[in-house]
Amino acid sequence: MIIENNTKFCISTALSEAVMGYPTDGLLVEIKYSPAGSGRYISGTYYRMTPTRRHGKLIRLRINRSNRYPVQVQFKTSDYKRKIDSRGQTIIYQKMRVEKFNTPEDLLLAIFLHEFSHYLDHIEGRNGRYKQTKADKFAIDILQRLDVIAKR
């Protein structure tokens, strides 16, 4: 795994250690600041293919310089609830898990792990449903194992 960090945050070791034991050959991780005026506190994307990387294997993370910590992030769970709306129709919704991240490094790690799950799906040839929930659960599991967030 090659990490190109264009921010002031020391995160490379944490990223490498978090995915130790998983295949990372050919993976490029770019860490940049969000464009000026971006309303997002962070964004992450896994690219299966780009014009310059035909084989893909690119994770790009962008973090906002003006974040105020702690930052709250919602993660999808596999817990679904039902409720009846005013017309008597059943509404099914997915419960969310909210976690606070006190540092930019922890926030970057969380989003990296989510995108890394998509990378694993790609190299293992998976293209199933519920990928966002699966990626969130993957990130939560590792963040708990590393004691970045508390177990529930």
Section 58-74 average pLDDT: 95
CA-to-CA separations, 140 to 50, 84, 85, in angstroms, rounded: 28, 30, 31
Query: In sequence order, what DSSP letters do the residues of 74-103 get, joined into one string?
Result: EEEEEEEEEEE-TTS-EEEEEEEEEEEE-S
22-50 pLDDT tens trace: 999 999 999 999 998 888 899 999 998 88
Q: In whole angstroms, give the CA distance from residue 53 to residue 4.
A: 15
Residue pLDDT, tens place only, 92-125:
888 888 999 999 999 999 999 999 999 999 888 8
